[in-house]
């Protein structure tokens, strides 16, 4: 394939990568991806519908859960066209500007999701460690401001990436090793020095995933201390289980980030598999982890199913 010319061109074309060597069975490979997308759409849509239609669920915990579901659906809309385009239609081309737009939304939404998980941990911290002030601390106006801060933080951190990428001349092979565009991959195609991009990208990872996961761990350490002093061992295990559920988002993200920077000897197939799993699996599991395991949502869903059948 021809490389992108040694000029900054908005019409430059990049090529995304599916799974090299398995092009003949792409149609079969698309089946599990389609299934994952269906689960993601249905699961998060059901969560949003239940919370919206049940006034008793208009509480901080469920509002944060709605934010998480909206973010997951945003990630779906951002990645669905390119991933399914590759496996269903073998369409690998993506324009440079379209690639920049996709990576902006992927990184921004991932940052927002990390922030929302932190807010959910803060909600549990206040509810368990300071229950008498819960309603005064987490009011609807304050929750709205928290959500706005999540969005503004993501945009403020990710938007400069576009300028850092736009200044490059792309003169190397124009083939990405992912099914979608991310900063770590696009910057490797530049024929200029990418040190600034590498440092800034690492800084973003530390300020979002690193800082948020640390604060979540600290909040649950304090929750566990409070729970152990007032409740049974079983309740402590439940609190710990919730903390582990929160961290399921961070482990794949951290592993994928480390693989990008230090996994030079790892096979391309493993890179692609992990890249797709880290982006798709957490949003698919979130409705189960945070929704179906929540008694109020589970009971409401069962009630809707029972009344629909009568």
Phi, psi of 194 (to 5 degrees): -105, 20
Give CA separation, 85 vs 81, 159, 176, 180, 284, in Å: 6, 26, 15, 10, 20
d(CA 51, CA 62): 7
Q: At 193, list the tokens.
A: 């020095």
CB of 14 within 8 A of CB of 176?
yes
Count CA within 13 A, CB hemisphere, residue 118. 20
DSSP label at 188?
A: G
Q: pLDDT tens digit string along 1-60?
A: 444 444 444 447 899 988 887 888 888 988 988 888 898 899 899 999 999 988 888 889
For residues 77-83, give the mean pLDDT. 89
Q: Which domains does the chain have, with CATH numbers?
A: 14-308 (1.20.1070.10)
Count CA within 13 A, CB hemisphere, residue 130. 12
Q: pLDDT tens digit string along 150-190?
A: 999 999 999 999 999 998 888 767 888 888 999 988 998 88
d(CA 145, CA 204): 22
d(CA 167, CA 282): 33
């Amino acid at each position: 394939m021809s490389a992108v010319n040694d000029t900054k061109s908005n019409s430059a074309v990049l090529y995304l990568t599916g799974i090299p060597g398995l092009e003949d069975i792409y149609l079969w490979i698309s089946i599990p991806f389609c299934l994952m997308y269906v689960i993601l759409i249905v699961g998060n849509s059901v969560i949003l519908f239940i919370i919206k239609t049940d006034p008793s669920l208009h509480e901080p915990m469920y509002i944060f859960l709605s934010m998480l579901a909206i973010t997951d659906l945003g990630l779906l809309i951002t990645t669905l066209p390119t991933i399914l385009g590759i496996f269903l239609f073998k369409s690998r081309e993506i324009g440079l500007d379209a690639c920049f737009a996709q990576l902006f939304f992927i990184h921004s939404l991932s940052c927002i999701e990390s922030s929302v998980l932190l807010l959910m941990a803060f909600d549990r911290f206040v509810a368990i460690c300071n229950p008498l002030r819960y309603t005064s601390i987490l009011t609807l106006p304050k929750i709205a401001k928290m959500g706005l801060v999540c969005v503004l933080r993501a945009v403020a951190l990710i938007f400069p990436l576009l300028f850092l990428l736009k200044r490059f001349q792309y003169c190397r092979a124009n083939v990405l090793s992912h099914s979608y565009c991310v900063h770590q991959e696009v910057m490797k195609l530049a024929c200029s020095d990418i040190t600034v991009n590498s440092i800034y990208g690492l800084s973003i990872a530390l300020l979002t995933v690193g800082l948020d996961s640390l604060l979540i761990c600290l909040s649950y350490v304090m929750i566990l201390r409070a729970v152990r002093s007032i409740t049974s061992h079983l309740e402590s295990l439940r609190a710990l289980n919730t903390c582990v559920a929160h961290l399921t988002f961070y482990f794949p993200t951290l592993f994928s980030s480390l693989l990008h920077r230090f996994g030079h000897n790892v096979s391309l197939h493993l890179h692609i598999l992990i890249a797709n799993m880290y982006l798709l699996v957490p949003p698919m599991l979130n409705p189960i982890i945070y929704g179906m395991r929540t008694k109020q949502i589970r009971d409401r869903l069962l009630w809707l199913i029972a009344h629909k059948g009568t």
